[in-house]
Amino acid sequence: IVHDITEKVPVRVNKNILDSDEAIIAALKHEAYELEALKDVMQSKGMITQKELARLIDSNYGGELHNEAWEVADELIIKIRGE
């Protein structure tokens, strides 16, 4: 998932999030959470298989980190709203 030339991890977001400040914040928090969690996984395991990566970030395969990331993003939005 690391770009061959830049050696950075590209993150894609849907352009529709640009219609809402909350959506922008939630999407970026979600992606940041996933990246930090993946960094922790990689540091502890060294490498993971493509299947393991999918299990962590793809909702079609369980998406453990993906689901956690949305929970964290939702909590941030609730906090910002003062709810």
10-residue stretch averages of pLDDT, the chain, 83 residues long: 85 91 96 93 90 91 93 97 91
Rounded CA-CA distance 66/55 in Å is: 9
List all residues 6 or more positions away from 79 whose beta carbon is below 8 Å from its beta carbon.
Answer: none
Confidence (pLDDT) at 11? 87
pTM: 0.84
Tell me what pLDDT residue 26 has.
Answer: 97
> Cα separation of 1 and 23, whole Å?
24
Q: Which residues contact 57 (CB under 8 A, 6 or more apart)?
A: 34, 38, 63, 65, 66
Residue type, 67: N
